[in-house]
Structure formats: C-alpha cells, structure tokens
Amino acid sequence: MEGASVSVFVTVQKIYYPLLCIMGIPANLFTFYMICFRKCGMSNTAIVYLSCLAIVDTFYLVWVILLDLTLTFWTVQPFWHSYPWCGILGFLQYGSLYSSSWIVVVFTIERYLVLRSTASKQNFSQTWDTKMFCTAIVLLSHLVSVPMGWINIVTPVNITVDGENMTLPRCRYRNHTYSTVIVWIATFLSGGIPIVLVIIFNYLIGYHLCRASNLFTKEERRIMYGRNTRGTLKRTILILGTVSVAFVVLSLPRFVTYCILRTRYNDESFNRNDYSIPINIAGDVANMLQNLNSTTNFLLYCMVSRRFRQELVHAITCKAKARELSTLLNHTTMKVFSVVNHKASLSSSQVTVVLTSLKQTK
C-alpha cells in the first residue's frame, strides 16, 4: 500500500473509533432504557438477556474503543502504557468481550430449548433464573479473562515523535509460550466456539419452526404456544435471529484474520503496523467490523421490531406519558363525579317520617 493510501486508512480509523463511541455508548444506554422501561413486546427473559447485552456492550466500547483504540490513534502516550494499567485493561477488555459473546450464545440455546420442550418453557420463563444466568456469565467471563492480564509487559521502547527520538514505556506483548497458549484459548472462547454454537442452534431453531409449521395447523400451533405468548415468541425469535446473524457476520472475519496472523505471521520481527502487507489491512478492517457489532443492536431492534419502533417514537415525542396522564386525569375525574352524584342521589332520596297518634303509656 502506498504512503497516501496508508495515511488515508489511518485517518479513517482515527475518525471511525471516536465516532463509534459517540454513537454507540448513548445508543446502548438508550436501548437499555427502552427494553427495561418500555413495553416493546418482548418476553420477560428476552428483556433480561438483551438489557444485559446492552450493558456489557457499553463496557466493551469504553474499555476497547474509547480507552484503547481512540487513545492509541489520538495520543502519543496513553495512560495504559504503564503498570498496572497494562494488565488491568486487557482483563477488562476480554471480560466484556466474553460476556457479550456468551450472552448471545446462552440466549440462543435458551430459545431453542423453549421451542422444543414445554417443560423447558416453564423452567426458563422465570425472570429470576434468567438474571442469575446473566450474572453467572458475566462473572465467569471476567474470571476466565484473568490470565489475559499476564500476556503483556511494560518495556521501554525507542520511538520517533515529531522527528525526535524518545524512549517511552510501552505495553507490549510478552513473547512466551504460555502467552501464545492463552491468546489461542481466548481466540476460540471469544470467537470460534460462540460462532459455531450460534450457527448450530439458529439452524435448529429454524428447523424446528419449519417442522412445526408442516406438522401442525395454524390453530393447533396457537393452542400449543398460547394466544397471548405466540406473538411475543415470534418477535423474540426474530430479534434473536437478527442479533445472531449480525454477531456471526461481524465476528467471523476477525476470527479468521487473527488465526492467520497467529500462524503464518507469528514472528517477533513482524511489524503489525506495516500496511504495505495485505494481512495487516485485513486484520484492522476485521477489527473494525467486530467493534461495530457492539453498537448495532439498537439499529437492529428498530429494523425488525415494530413495537420497538412505536415505543421509540412515543419516548421521543412523550406521547406515551401524555396518554397515561390523560387516562389518569379522566379516571380521577370520573371517580370524583361518581362520588358527587352518589351523594346527590342519597340526599334527594331522603324520607321524612312524621309520627302521629301518639299515646302516653303508663
């Protein structure tokens, strides 16, 4: 790649990552509000999974995009090029990455089990159990990511800044066997295994739905799933399918390019910042796609969920609150008038009793 093209590609990344933070963090927080506090037509378990996903994606944007990549492109010496931040940041980044990936996996498996078994539907319909599952996923993800804090080390490096040679501490990869093993395990835990599981269980969900549509009539399926939950189930599966497809499409390129970099180009002398090598460009583009995965859920919900779009419009225009206030005022007014009319009816129906022919008794 020529020098001008390299400069353009670096400039694109310098703009792309701050823009991703500016748009992604508020979008995820607003998505959390919409899912938790608005009636978007989702099941109770879907609300828990998707709200948890919005939170961990927000942390991923903070740790990876804001504090790591944005500072890398815009500052000479980010704060995490020092001890102990060099290890802490890696731990936090992989903890949020594991959490995001495995929440999608567990949500997909849970939807398949609900479709397949009535007993599973009763067991997994408990909101408290779902909250415990999500909490366990986040805690285990951060526990597994503890070794990621050991793969980097702070070392002095000679660099050129504005034509002047300087020696600055740098958080560099520790080139040891155990570091390579940990990175390979992390690659499969965050990308390879979740991608395979999501593909398999989404295929099983599709197969089950097609089989049910062929075996049972529309009325029988309505009786099986229930009249009230049928629409909610369809909306939840549609949202899950969209999130799963986006997860696979945006995460798979990074997994492939990372495997290539760790096999064919796993050499200490290899310059990862040399954009004249095509694999470096491919690797950075794949990273950009995977990082985009943490910001797209809000747009996906808007695309596939009519109820989500309606509640979004109501939230922006405050129509829902106005409607609730109007309903409350009307209800209160009706109660007041009903009490007044009741009192009036009582007063108008009063009876005067006159005693006559009284006799004195001894």
**Averaged pLDDT for residues 352-358:** 46
In this prediction, residue 353 has a pLDDT band, given cuts at 50, 70 and 90, of very low
352 token code pair: 């005067």
73 token code pair: 């492109």
- Assess whether pLDDT exceeds 50 at residue 122: yes
The torsion defined by the Cα of 126, 130, 136 and 142, in degrees rounded to 10, comes to -170
Nearest alpha-carbon partner for 305 in 42, 33, 109: 42
- 40, 308 Cβ separation under 8 angstroms: yes
The more confidently predicted of residues 268 and 182 is 182
In a domain? residue 167: no
Cis peptide before 169 (omega within 30 of 0): no
What distance in Å separates the CA atoms of residue 298 and residue 295, rounded to the nearest whole number?
Answer: 7
In a domain? residue 96: yes
The least confident of 104-108, 120-124, 148-152 is 120-124
Domain at 81, CATH number: 1.20.1070.10
Q: Which residues contact 79 (CB under 8 A, 6 or more apart)?
A: 71, 85
Q: Give me the chain's average pLDDT, please.
A: 80
In a domain? residue 192: yes
**Averaged pLDDT for residues 83-97:** 93
In a domain? residue 158: no
Query: Which tens digits make up the pLDDT trace of 321-351?
Result: 545 545 544 554 444 444 444 444 444 445 4
- 94, 185 Cβ separation under 8 angstroms: no
Structural domain range at position 105:
1-118+131-153+177-317
In this prediction, residue 207 has a pLDDT band, given cuts at 50, 70 and 90, of confident
What distance in Å separates the CA atoms of residue 183 and residue 291, rounded to the nearest whole number?
Answer: 18
**Averaged pLDDT for residues 18-35:** 93
In a domain? residue 160: no
In a domain? residue 326: no
Answer whether 0.85 is exceeded by the pTM. no
pLDDT of residue 15: 94
pLDDT of residue 137: 96
In a domain? residue 143: yes
What distance in Å separates the CA atoms of residue 138 and residue 56, rounded to the nearest whole number?
Answer: 8
In a domain? residue 110: yes
- The number of folded domains in the chain is 1
